[in-house]
Structure 1
C-alpha cells in the first residue's frame, strides 16, 4: 500500500487539477488520490494532493487560507474573467491613475461580498455553472461573503490602452481571483481580467515544499500524514486510554483548542484522528487508526 500523506505539487500551466491527480495515481501506485482546491488550467503553483488515508484531510484543507501571485489586465473584459476566455469588450485604461487603482484594490480588501465568475464550478439547479455558461445560458449566481486579508499591489505597468497590475492576494477559501480582476476593472470603468495566476501557499504548505511533476516522477516525496496534520491544525496529545476511546470513534472532553479541526496524537506520536470541539466535548471528524 502507498504511504498515507500529502504530495505538494507545483502544478504546470495547461494541466487541469484532474490531470495532476491522474498522473499522481500512476506515480504513487494507488487509485486513492485526491486534491484540495482546484486550480484552473492557466494557473500554476501549489496543488495539495492527498494519498490513501490523507484523502480524508482534503475537505478540511480546502477551507484554509490561500496566497496567490497574480497579474490583472485592465482595459479588456473576457467572458471567463481570465485570459482563456473570449474578449467581450475593450476600453482604454490609459487614463486610469495609480491612485485610482490602489483605491479600487482597497475597496476589494477585507470582508467583501463576491459574485463568483459565470464560468465556475458552483452548482446551479444541480448543474455546474460553467456548463450552463458555455451552453450560452446566463447564469445567476448569488454574492457570497469572502475575506481578502491582503491585496498588495506590487507593480503597475501601462502599455498603450492596457494597464497590467501585479499583485499578491491572501484570501479565504472560496475567493475567486478572477472575480477580483473583473470587479476591479468594473469599478474603474474599463473592465479587467486575469492574465497570470500562481498559487504560492495553501494553509501551511507553500512552494518551498512543492515539487514539479517531473521531479515527483523521479522521486515521489510524500509528507507523512502525521506531519501534514501537525503543520495545518492545532495538536492534541492524549493518553493511552483516550487514544483507545478516540480510536473507536468515541468522544473526548474538550481541551479548549478552538473549534477545530484539531489533530489528535497518541502517546507514541501516531496520528489518531481529527476532532472538532462542541462545548464540553471533542467529536471525531475523521479517525485514522486501523
Structure 2
C-alpha cells in the first residue's frame, strides 16, 4: 500500500474512529488518521491519511469547510443536535420567514462562538464530551471562528419550524452551535437535525467514496497529487531537490507554505518562507 489520502463519504451512525478502523482493515495498515472528525449523526466528507500521508494531515490547508444542515427551531437539546435530550420547548407560531432569515444573517462574519459542551475539545486533558457523559457541567470558553457564508435555502414555518442552510466556514466552527445560538436569538431554542459536510479544503463530495465502494475498489489519492491539490506547488531542479532531501534551507522566494517536488515529480517536502529563505516544515523523503 502506498502513501496517500482517502476521501470518504461518511455514513450516519458511525464515529470518525469507526471509519478509521474500517479503512485500516481495507488498507492493510495501522497508519491511518483523519483530518478532523464528524459527529456520528453527520455524514459527508472525511479526509483520511494513509501511511506517510498521516504526517501531511496536520499541515493540509483544510481551514475552510462547507456544510449542508437542517435546523429545527422551538426545541433546545443537551447536545445541540437531535441525539441529545430535550431541555426546553417553545412555540414558533410567532415566527415568519423574514424574521428567521434576518436572524440567520447575523451569523456571518468573524464570531466569538461557544462550542457545544459535547465537543472533542479537551478540558484539563479530558474530552469535553467525556466529562458531560460522566455527569459534569461543562462550560467552554468562546473562541473566534469565521463564517464566510450562510445561505438559507429553505424555511418551513409551522408548529415545528425548520430551515435548511448551506455554510462555508473556518475550521473549528460548530454548526450545532449556530443552530443553538440562532434558536436563542429568536427566543425559541434550536438544534441541528441533519448535517452533511460537503467539502474540506479542496476535497469535496465529487472525490469522496462510500465505505462500500472502497471495499470493492480502494481509491487512494497519491501523496504527490494530494499535496498539489492542497498547496501551492514548486518543481525544483536536481540541486535544490538534493538540498531538500537533507532538510537544508533554500535560497528561494515563497509566498507561503509550499509543496516542493523533485524533477521526476516526487513530492519531497513542505517549505515556508522564514528569515529571508525557504525552510523545511516537513520532509517526506525519509
Q: TM-score range by the shorter chain?
A: over 0.9
Question: Where in structure 2 are there 5+ consecutive unaligned residues?
Answer: none
Equivalence for 2:270: 274
- 2-side partners of 1:139 and 1:216: how far apart? 39
TM-score under structure 1 length normalisation: 0.96
**Aligned residue among 157, 178, 192 for 2:190:** 192
Equivalence for 1:283: 279
Equivalence for 1:216: 214
Q: Which moved more, 1:243-252 or 1:111-120?
A: 243-252
- 2-side partners of 1:251 and 1:87: how far apart? 57
Asked if the contact 1:120/1:128 (under 8 Å) is kept, the reply is: yes
Asked if the contact 1:36/1:58 (under 8 Å) is kept, the reply is: yes
Asked if the contact 2:96/2:157 (under 8 Å) is kept, the reply is: no
- 2-side partners of 1:254 and 1:198: how far apart? 41
Q: What SS does structure 2 have at the residue aligned with 1:96?
A: coil
Q: Deviations over 1:216-255 (max 9, x none)?
A: 0001000111111101111111121111111111222342
> Once superposed, what is the RMSD of the aligned Cα atoms?
1.2
- 1-side partners of 2:233 and 2:255: how far apart? 8
Equivalence for 1:170: 168
Task: Report the alpha carbon displacement of residue 63 of structure 1 after superposing the two structures with TM.
Answer: 4.0
Task: Report the alpha carbon displacement of residue 60 of structure 1 after superposing the two structures with TM.
Answer: 2.2
1:135-284 aligned at under 5 Å gives the runs 135-160=134-159, 162-258=160-256, 260=257, 262-284=258-280
Q: Which moved more, 1:238-247 or 1:34-43?
A: 238-247
- 1-side partners of 2:103 and 2:24: how far apart? 43
Equivalence for 2:103: 104
TM-score under structure 2 length normalisation: 0.97
Asked if the contact 2:259/2:269 (under 8 Å) is kept, the reply is: yes
- 1-side partners of 2:254 and 2:211: how far apart? 40
- 2-side partners of 1:62 and 1:19: how far apart? 24
- 2-side partners of 1:221 and 1:73: how far apart? 37
Asked if the contact 2:115/2:140 (under 8 Å) is kept, the reply is: yes
- 1-side partners of 2:147 and 2:111: how far apart? 7
- 2-side partners of 1:4 and 1:81: how far apart? 37
Q: Deviations over 1:148-189 (max 9, x none)?
A: 0000000001232x2111010000000000000001000000
Task: Report the alpha carbon displacement of residue 279 of structure 1 after superposing the two structures with TM.
Answer: 4.1
- 2-side partners of 1:202 and 1:76: how far apart? 29
Q: What SS does structure 2 have at the residue aligned with 1:208?
A: helix
Question: Where in structure 1 are there 5+ consecutive unaligned residues?
Answer: none
The count of aligned residue pairs is: 286
Asked if the contact 1:275/1:282 (under 8 Å) is kept, the reply is: yes
Equivalence for 2:76: 77
